[in-house]
Amino acid sequence: EVRLLESGGGLVRPGGSLRLSCAASAFTFSTSAMHWVRQAPGKGLEWVSMISGSSGSFYYADSVQGRFTISRDNAKSTLYLQMNSLRAEDTAVYYCAKDRDVLSAFDIWGQGTMVTVSS
């Protein structure tokens, strides 16, 4: 079964850091573009970042540019999101998602991991 499983969420103080992981299984991870999408409590969906299969290309939303870093380890079929200088407005469920092609539709989603930034 094609699956994405996020981990690493939790409670962190403003200004702190957290690294999210997303373990992929049952598809060719190394050739798949991958994304992080977040959803603040009671709010809509917000695209955060994307990385190409080869890690040669990556993009960020302006709201996280310079604070978040997306990366991947194709040998481990795992996607990462390093989040630094966290703010209260980063509080959200973070989903990893597989791209159907390259910058197209998110056809596979993980179950999400909650990140709470609070003092």
What value, to the nearest 5°, has the Cα angle with vertex 106 and ends 113 and 77?
A: 65
Shortest spacing between CB 119 and other proteins, in angstroms: 27
Residue 112 lies near other proteins (rule: CB under 8 A):
yes
User: Contacting other proteins (CB under 8 A), which of 23, 46, 67, 116?
Assistant: 46
**DSSP 8-state symbol, 103:** S
Residue 50 lies near other proteins (rule: CB under 8 A):
yes
User: Contacting other proteins (CB under 8 A), which of 62, 66, 75, 119?
Assistant: 62
In angstroms, the CA 119 to CA 108 distance is 34
**DSSP 8-state symbol, 117:** E
In angstroms, the CA 29 to CA 5 distance is 13
Nearest to 105 by CA among 49, 35, 25: 35
Residue 3 lies near other proteins (rule: CB under 8 A):
no
Q: Please report, as residue ranges, which positions from 72 to 111 form the binding site for other proteins (by CB under 8 A).
A: 95, 100, 103-107, 109-111
Residues that bind other proteins (CB under 8 A): 35, 37, 44-47, 50, 59, 61-62, 95, 100, 103-107, 109-112
